[in-house]
Amino acid sequence: MLESFDFGVIGQALPFLFGVGMVFTIKLTLLAMVGGLIVGTMLALMRLSHSAVLRLVAGAYVNFIRSIPLVLVIFWFFFLVPYIGGWIMRSDTPIEVGAFGSALVTFIMFEAAYYCEIMRAGILSVPRGQIHAAQALGMNYRMSMAYVILPQAVKNMLPLLLTQSIILFQEVSLVYVVSITDFVGAAAVIAQRDGRLLEMYLFVAVVYFGICFTLSSLVRRMRRFQSA
């Protein structure tokens, strides 16, 4: 089997794999991470709110999203986002969102449920005395959260946030099911065109392993540094 293994096809495919596929994957991962963290933080604040309605709405959303497969959410948003956008814009026809836009909305809304629970744990890990100290300095609730609580929560939960972001990087490959050319999708195009499935998918596995193992090692070092 190894005798028929063609390393040349990998070298020829590198510009397309990394220049198109990996660029898309990294771009979507970073934007979804930032958007998911922002929406997730808002959901976490809602879950910790004194309002029962806000707690109920946020809790229902988080529990619902965490209970369904991501691939199903990808299909939902891929087909529904244009219609939802048209309804918001009061248009009679679906709006043009594009593959990247629908994928970005999907991952932001999906990952927000997971970032929410991480941020909620981070906020609860900050001693209550910090809030009282901020109030003693004349800060209101919003200022206390923005300048005192949330920075400490992010610092406490940084290893978990990065771990979830690594998972997000891996999950982005699922956009392949709706024919979006991410890193895996780019490899699939080359594999089917040249009939070299073994070479391309093995190379994809090696690349993902290298990136995720490196980032996971960084997270482990960060945890040891925090516990020191």
- DSSP assignment of 167-214, as one string? HHHHHGGGGGGGT--SHHHHHHHHHHHHT-HHHHHHHHHHHHHHHHHH
* pLDDT > 80? residue 223: yes
Query: pLDDT (tens digit, 9 = 90+) per residue, 11-64?
Result: 888 999 999 999 999 999 999 999 999 999 999 999 998 899 999 999 999 999
CATH of the domain at 140: 1.10.3720.10
**pLDDT number for residue 3:** 58
Among the ranges given (112-121, 133-142, 154-163), the one the predictor scored with the smallest mean pLDDT: 133-142
For residues 201 and 7, give the distance between their C-alpha atoms in angstroms, rounded to a whole number. Answer: 12
Give the side-chain half-sphere CA count within 13 A for 19.
6
Range of the domain at 185: 2-227
Tokens 């028929």 found at: 4
What is the chain's mean pLDDT, rounded?
A: 87
* pLDDT > 90? residue 180: no
101 or 203: whose pLDDT is higher?
Answer: 203
**pLDDT number for residue 107:** 94
Contacts of 179 (CB under 8 A, 6+ apart): 99, 185
**pLDDT number for residue 55:** 94
164 or 179: whose pLDDT is higher?
Answer: 164
* pLDDT > 80? residue 88: no
106 or 93: whose pLDDT is higher?
Answer: 106
The total number of structural domains that make up the chain = 1
State pTM to two decimals: 0.87
* pLDDT > 90? residue 92: no
**pLDDT number for residue 146:** 83
For residues 170 and 148, give the distance between their C-alpha atoms in angstroms, rounded to a whole number. Answer: 33
**pLDDT number for residue 11:** 86
* pLDDT > 60? residue 153: yes
